[in-house]
Amino acid sequence: MIRLAVCGAAGRMGRLILAMAYAQRGHFEVRAAVDVPGNPLLGSPIGSFSEYKNTDVRLTDSLKSVLPDCDVVIDFSASEQSVKTAQECAQAGVAVVIGTTGLNAGQVALLDEAAKSVPVVYAPNMSVGVNLLFKLAGMIAQMLDEDYDVEIVEAHHRFKKDAPSGTACRLAEIIAQARGVSLETHGNYGRKGMVGERKAGEIGIHTVRMGNVVGDHTVTFANLGERIELTHKAQSRETFALGALKAARFIADKKSGRYDMQDVLGLR
Ligand code: NAD
């Protein structure tokens, strides 16, 4: 039985993770649920805002105080908090799964620092399908030369705060790595005005925000004669919550180090 804490528990993903953990209660027991100071739900039993039933666990704003009672923390909150979560877990010797997106390079380096002490899974997208997309996009990028233009288009719901999505950024990184180029020099984030002809080897990354789209990603490889398109469409957030719980089960007995969903799903 994995003793679980969820950080960002009152959010869209947090509530679903609680619900899915309850559905898998043979494997998980939620010992703590944490959200930001000032959240109106603080102090409420988690069963009042999620499908996690039969518990007296209440929403708290102090992760540190609950860590001694936990084996794994799952964090889907905000970038600054996720770094803090990883640091507190490292001090307490608790494994951590970070699903939050929009972390900058410095923040990712701090996750790596925490991963020297505890196992850390950090993945911008926890769905099985997207992780397969990562794998396939990398393989295709390796097989095709720069005559094939690469364009990545992502769409998400109107509430999403960061852009491009962490998934689109990861796709671009994987393709750049496969081509042996840097995203700094080859990434092109949106186009406007008299930008001139497309440069060979560019990796285009474009963002759409609309309605309640859960998450769509398309990678296109195109030359003058043909186009290959790889598309993934998430139909519901449950797929991410299930992936997060898979990751929690994976790291519960792992050594310290940084892992991602390719490790969790055995796609490495
Ligand atoms: P949300 O805004 O609905 O929920 C975030 C929750 O975190 C809120 O309840 C908020 O109060 C809480 N929070 C903010 N700051 C906090 C702090 N300092 N301490 C504790 N809690 C804090 O957002 P969401 O849709 O649930 O997404 C959360 C994050 O997860 C985003 O970064 C999103 O992009 C990412 N996400 C990742 C995946 C994935 O598969 N990795 C999938 C979906 C969303």
pLDDT digits 0-9 by tens, 101-122:
989 999 999 999 999 999 999 9
Residue numbers annotated as active site: 156, 160
Q: In percent, how much of the chain has pLDDT > 90? A: 98
In the chain, % of residues over pLDDT 70: 100
Report whether residue 126 contacts ligand 1, using a CB cutoff of 6 Å.
Answer: yes
Atom 34 of ligand 1, nearest CA residue: 101
* For residue 268, pLDDT beyond 90: no
- Span from the CA of 160 to the centroid of ligand 1 (angstroms): 10
**Euclidean distance between CA atoms 264 and 128, whole angstroms:** 10
The encoded tokens of residue 42 equal 């603080």
Q: Is 250 in the pocket of ligand 1 (CB under 6 A)?
A: no
Spacing, Cα 1 to ligand 1 middle (Å): 25
Q: How confident is the model at residue 124 (pLDDT cuts 50, 70, 90)?
A: confident
| Predicted pLDDT at 240 | 94
Q: In sequence order, which residues have a C-beta less than 8 Å from that of residue 237 and are 6 or more positions away?
A: 12, 13, 16, 214
Structure pTM?
Answer: 0.90
Residue 9: phi and psi, rounded to 5, are -65, -25
What is d(CA 149, CA 136) in angstroms, rounded to the nearest whole number?
Answer: 16
Q: In what order do the strands lie in the sheet with 119-122?
A: 59-60, 28-34, 2-7, 72-75, 95-98, 119-122, 257-259
How many other CB atoms are there within 10 angstroms of residue 140's CB atom? 17
In this prediction, residue 92 carries a pLDDT of: 97
Query: Averaged over 254-265, what is the pLDDT?
Result: 96
52 contacts 21 by C-beta, under 8 angstroms? yes
Confidence at 177, pLDDT banded by 50, 70, 90: very high
Backbone phi, then psi, for 196, in 5-degree steps? 80, 180
198-236 confidence digits (pLDDT tens): 999 999 999 999 999 999 999 999 999 999 999 999 999
Ligand 1 centroid–CA 166 distance in Å is 13
How do the domains of the chain map onto residue ranges? 2-122+237-264, 128-234
Q: Is the peptide bond before 119 cis (omega within 30 degrees of 0)?
A: no
Amino acid type, 140: I
**Inter-helix orientation angle 105-114/79-92, to 10°:** 10
Q: Is 167 in the pocket of ligand 1 (CB under 6 A)?
A: no
Q: What is the pLDDT of residues 20-33, one digit of tens each?
A: 999 999 999 999 99
Q: How far is the CA of 205 from the centre of ligand 1 (A)?
A: 23
Distance of CA 144 from the midpoint of ligand 1 (Å): 37
Closest approach atom of ligand 1 to CA 127: 40
Q: Ligand 1 pocket test: which of 17, 65, 76 has the largest number of ligand atoms within 8 Å of its C-beta?
A: 76
| Fold (CATH) for 2-122+237-264 | Rossmann fold (3.40.50)
Pick the CATH number of 128-234 from 3.40.47.10, 1.10.10.970, 3.30.360.10, 3.40.630.30: 3.30.360.10
Residue 30 CA to residue 25 CA, distance in Å, equals 9
Kindly tell me the sign of the dihedral angle through the C-alpha atoms of 23, 24, 26, 28. Answer: negative
Q: List the residue whose alpha carbon is closest to atom 17 of ligand 1.
A: 36
123 C-beta closer than 6 A to ligand 1: yes
d(CA 22, CA 39): 23
Arithmetic mean of pLDDT over the chain: 96
Has residue 184 got a pLDDT over 90? yes
